[in-house]
Amino acid sequence: MLKLDAHIHVTPPEISGNLDKYTSKEPYFELLSASPKNKFADAKTVIAELDGAGFDGAVIFGFAFQDLGLCRMVNDYVIEMVKAYPRLTGFIAVPPADRGALGEIERAHEAGLKGVGEIFPSGQRFSIEDADATRAFTGLCAERSLPILVHANEPVGHYYPGKTDTTLRQLEQFIEHSSGVDIILAHWGGGLFFYEMMPEFRQKCARVYYDCAATPFLYDSRVYRTACDLGLETKILFGSDYPLLPISRYIKEINKSAMPPPAREMFLGGNCARLISS
């Protein structure tokens, strides 16, 4: 059974080793870096984590800074690492509202990266609900068959760094305006997956996927089985948010969750393989 982790953050040693230099101009990066739960990993550490957990591969990406130059720097690192470790697939970090974002997506795609994200609408001041602001960005991703991974969070519950004011309604508007592109909503879409029980919403979300990043901090293990009960077996992706959490934390919970075996297989790798193969 193929096992893929769809959500892993990598940080070039140049950034993790000189943090002050990079946090001073990036308030959202500073906020997340200052969290006691925060950790950094380079690609080599990721490979060791995958080996330890018996995983075949992963999708990796650098931090999506507000500054295009810094995004370019982390993309260069990811480009180099996916060449060094063919088990890794790279996504492109960009500030989507920046004028240079489209050029950077083209450059990094041509250099071998296969998707865009994780984008942080609030942290990067990107108005995802605004069709005019998102059109060129989603259009290019659609044209090049690049899935877009978007950070999402629940509108209720405890605060944590990264819990932003982006609403489920704004995510819905982004989905409405992004035809022809696969959208992966991180962190169970902040709960948006529940509404796939509404027939008209389900239709709208034909190309929407949900990853389970940070589940152990957010939900109990019933969430995995619940997603299957909602009929989302083909739309859910295993993603650990490593190095925030180790893969093993999830596997214990997933084993407890009574996911039907065929759904478990799709969730742990099959769905992700399909998404990144296009």
Q: Note the residues at the interface with Zn ion (CB under 5 A).
A: 151, 186
Phi, psi (rounded to 5 degrees) for 35: -65, 135
Q: Pairing state of beta strands 236-237 and 148-150?
A: unpaired
* Shortest Å, Cβ 199 to Zn ion: 29
Closest to Zn ion by CB, 187 vs 264, is 187
Contact 241, 276 (CB under 8 A): no
Q: What is the DSSP secondary-structure string of 169-214?
A: HHHHHHHHH-TTS-EEESGGGGGGGGGGGSHHHHHHTTTEEEE-TT
Rounded-to-integer distance, Cα 60 and Cα 4, Å: 11
Tell me whether residue 52 is exposed, middle or buried, using C-beta atoms within 10 angstroms of its C-beta: 0 to 12, 13 to 18, 19 or more.
exposed
Closest to Zn ion by CB, 151 vs 264, is 151
Residue keyed to tokens 């659609």? 142
Rounded-to-integer distance, Cα 245 and Cα 214, Å: 7
Closest to Zn ion by CB, 47 vs 212, is 212
Rounded to an integer, what is the distance from CA 259 to the centroid of its chain? 22
Closest to Zn ion by CB, 109 vs 151, is 151
Closest to Zn ion by CB, 12 vs 239, is 239
Q: Which contiguous run of DSSP H or E holds residue 259?
A: none
* Shortest Å, Cβ 152 to Zn ion: 8
- Terminal Cα distance for the chain, rounded: 20
Closest-by-Cβ residue to Zn ion is 151
* Shortest Å, Cβ 162 to Zn ion: 6
Closest to Zn ion by CB, 57 vs 123, is 123
Here the tokens at position 156 are 């209720």
